[in-house]
A = this chain, B = another copy of it.
C-alpha cells in the first residue's frame, strides 16, 4: 500500500475550512495554498460561498468529483456526521485533525471506535484522529495546521507526537535540514507507523525513514512489513517510554531476565531497524544516511591537522565498535612523498598544524583509494595557515570522485571555520563540531549495513516433523479443567517431550513407596522435587533433594520434603513428589520463552542454574520467522557461548542440540498462544546431546476463566 492518494492527492477537501484567522480550518487552507499544491482544492463550509479565493461547498457530496483526501477540522461532536458524509461521497482518505478522542478518556474512546467503524464501512482509510496533519514537500502539499513547511529533502519523518513534529519542523528549518514527508499519526486508530513506513519505503523521493513512536500498534505486522522496508532503505526509530513502561509481571526466570524494553529492542534488531537512543542521535543518523553512501565495512581512516583530536577520534572509533583502517604500504609511501617528514603517515594521519589544502587533498585521496579504508573522517582545527574554505572545496571534489566511501568532517572551532563547514553541508558532507558525533553516525551506518546483509540473506525457519500437538492438548485439558495456570513438572515434561525437546523423564509419586518404585525403574542416583502449582522456587522451601543413592535415601527424602514444605508453606496443595534420575554434571544453561503482548513469543538463552538471575547472561530473539542462523547469532552473544564452545580445555558442548531445542521452544510457543511462559532451566549440555532437568510452563486462558 503506497498511500499515493494520501500523499499525492489530485483532489483535497477541507471540511471546516474558514476565512477567520486563528481558526484551524483557516490555517490548513492557507498552508495548502502556500505550499504550492497543484491539485483541486475544495473548502467545505456551509456558512461561506468562498474561502480564500476558492469556491466553498455546503457538504462533501456537493463537490461532484472524487475526493482523494478530506481533512476534517470540525468540532469533535460533528466529526462522525462529517465522516459519514465523506464515506457516502466516496472519499478515499480522511485526515482527522480534530482532538477529543481516545486521549480524553472513555467518552472519546467510544467516539474513536465509532469513527473507525464509519471508515471501515466505506472503505476509507483514516489518519488520526488528533493529528497536526500530513506534508509532502515533493507533491507539494502541506495539509496541516503547522506554522511552516519543511525544506525539500529526502527524509521522511513520522511522529506519534504532534508537538514533536512541530518542534522538529521549526528546528529543521533553522539548521537547513530537508524532508520529503512529515506525518503526524495522532491516535493511530487506523493507519499507523507500519503503513507510513511502508509508504515511505515505496516513495521515490524518500531515502531515509525517521520515526518517533511511543508504542507499536501491531507487533506482528510490524515485524513482517518493516523488515521488508528496511531492505529498501534505512529505518531509524526513536522509541520513547522505556522508563514508564514499567516492569513486566513475570513468574518465570525468562520473564525476569527480559525487561520491558527487550521485546522492542529485539523486534527492531530482527526487522533491521536502527534504534536511535535520543533526539540528537536520530537526526545525526538521518544526516549521515541521507547524503552519504553506506560504507562497505567498519574501517575508518582519519586525517587530522592536530594530534589531540586525532586521539579522541581514535578512542571513539573503538568505543563505537568501529576499526582503525590499516593502510597498504603503497598508501603510506604515497603520503610519504607529499607530507613533511614529521607527519604521521599511519592512521590517524597527521598532516600537521601548518597544513594547507594540498596536504589534506593528497592524503585524503591516498586513503580514499586504499581498499583497506571504508570511510574517512577529516578533522580540522584552526591554525594560522589553515584554509577551511579551500580544504572543504577539495573534499567536495574528492567525494564526487570516490562516491562509494562516506566522508565526514569534524571542524573544531567557531567563526573561522563556519564558511568551510557550510560548503561541506550544502554539498551533503556532514560537518560536526566534535569528532565523536561523526564516529557515532558512522557506526550507525555500519550497523545498518550489517543488519541489511542479514535481512537479505534468504533463509526460512527450521521445519519439524512429528510434533505431537494432540498430546499437548491432552495435557492442557487437565490444566484447563483444574483452572490452573502453572503446569506441574510432569505435565510440562510431557508437553516438552511432545515437541521433541530432550527432557529427563520425570514421574509423579503420591507415596514414598511409589517414589522408590519409580526411582528403581529409572536407575539411581535420583532427584526428588515437590509437585505443587503454588511453589515457584522449590529449593527455597526444602522442596528438592538430590544425589539419592538407594531406596532408603529416596524414602527419607520423600518424607523430608513433605515435612519441610508443609512446615514452611502450610496449607499449600501438594500433588505429590516428582522423581527423576540425576544427570551427570555439564554446562548448565537456560532456554526460555515469555510472550510479549505486541510481538509474540520472545525466546531467551543464557547461563542457567540457580544463579541465572544473578548472572543475567541472556540474549533474546522473537520466535516469529526465526532462522537457524539467527539462533546461532543469539547463542554467540552470550557468556554461555564461551563455556559451551569449550572453556579452558573442556570439550565443546553439542551446540546443534541447543539450536534445535531453542527452535522447538519457539515452535511450541507459536503453535499454542495460550502458553505465556516457558523455562527450561537448567538444560545441561554435554559434548553429545543435552538434557532438560526442569521444565516450567505457564498458560493463560484470558480473564474469562
What is A's interface to B at a CB cutoff of 8 Å? 104, 147, 159-164, 166-168, 170-175, 212, 214, 238, 240-244, 277-280, 305-309, 311-312, 314-319, 342, 353, 381-384, 412-418, 433-437, 537, 539-540, 610-611, 614-615, 639, 642-643, 647-649
Contact = CB atoms under 8 A, between A and B. Distances in A.
A394 B308 CA distance: 42
* Residue with the highest number of chain B CB atoms closer than 10 Å, among A160, A170, A314, A415: A170
Contacts of A383: 163, 166
Contacts of A147: 382, 384
B214 A308 contact: yes
Contacts of A160: 308
A280 B212 CA distance: 24
A416 to B, nearest CB: 6
B434 A280 contact: yes
Given A164-B381, A306-B161, A171 B413 contact: yes
B414 A163 contact: no
Contacts of A309: 161, 163-164, 167
Given A280-B436, A434-B280, A614-B647, A311 B240 contact: yes
A279 B314 contact: no
Nearest to A434: B279
Nearest to A171: B414
Given A278-B434, A642-B614, A649-B540, A308 B163 contact: yes
A307 B240 CA distance: 11
Contact of A648 (B279, B437, B540, B615): B540
Contacts of A241: 311, 315
B317 A415 contact: no
A259 B566 CA distance: 51
A242 B537 CA distance: 44
A433 B171 contact: yes
Given A308-B212, A643-B614, A170 B415 contact: yes
A382 B104 CA distance: 22
Nearest to A311: B240
A554 to B, nearest CB: 24
B308 A159 contact: yes
The 4 closest A-B pairs by CB, nearest first: A174-B414, A161-B308, A163-B306, A170-B413
A316 B614 CA distance: 26
Nearest to A283: B434
Contact of A382 (B170, B306, B434, B649): B170
Contacts of A413: 166-167, 170-171, 174
Contact of A175 (B159, B162, B414, B647): B414
B243 A315 contact: yes
A595 B28 CA distance: 70
Contacts of A174: 413-415, 418
A175 B418 CA distance: 12
Contacts of A212: 308
28 contacts: A147-B382, A147-B384, A159-B308, A161-B307, A161-B308, A163-B307, A163-B308, A163-B381, A163-B383, A164-B306, A166-B381, A167-B309, A168-B412, A170-B413, A171-B413, A171-B433, A173-B415, A174-B418, A175-B414, A241-B311, A244-B314, A244-B315, A279-B436, A280-B437, A537-B648, A539-B648, A610-B648, A615-B615
Contacts of A162: 306, 353
Given A243-B314, A306-B163, A309-B164, A417 B384 contact: no
Contacts of A381: 163-164, 166-167
Nearest to A104: B342
Given A413-B167, A414-B171, A614-B647, A278 B314 contact: no
Given A161-B306, A280-B436, A614-B643, A315 B170 contact: no
Contacts of A648: 537, 539-540, 610
A316 B240 CA distance: 9
A318 B434 contact: no
A105 to B, nearest CB: 10
A10 B281 CA distance: 50
A314 B278 CA distance: 12
A262 to B, nearest CB: 15
A108 to B, nearest CB: 11
Which of A161, A175, A278, A643 has the most B CB atoms < 10 Å from its CB? Answer: A278
